[in-house]
Amino acid sequence: MKKLLLLNGPNLGILGEREVGIYGSATLADIERSVAKEAAERNWEVVGVQHDCEGALVRTVQDNYDTVGAVINPGALMIAGWSLRDALANYPRPWIEVHLSNVWAREQFRHESILAPLATGLIAGLGAHGYQLATRALMERIPAE
């Protein structure tokens, strides 16, 4: 079975508890289930990984070159996650960057992603639904086999 990488960065393991007014009430488990439901249409299994440590995220990217693609919420590593950027530059599949909040409607320091220029696309500000949309977009870009 083909696999889709669902990668979440720092502080995303506490979704549902963390600043609900900004990030919503969906937990990471809720998001993983919704992505799995979308991915099931293509018979893809979801490999859901969340780490607060950038090095662990880098290793996860490197260990998952065989996935069909990825949905990635780097959290604040979008701002200065240079080693994650280097790992994603070498990731051989399409991937979409996702952010729960509209980062451009927030503090100035969140207005630039060092990862976005490498991504196939970017979805921000649509809450947990953004993950489903990213999965759907990958399904449209990756040929069915």
Q: Which residues are catalytic?
A: 23, 99
Note whether 22 and 12 are within 8 A (CB).
no
Amino acid at 136: R
Is residue 3 within 8 Å of residue 71, measured between CB atoms? no
Length of the chain in residues, anyone? 145
d(CA 90, CA 35): 24
The answer to whether the Cα torsion of 52, 3, 82, 12 is positive or negative is negative
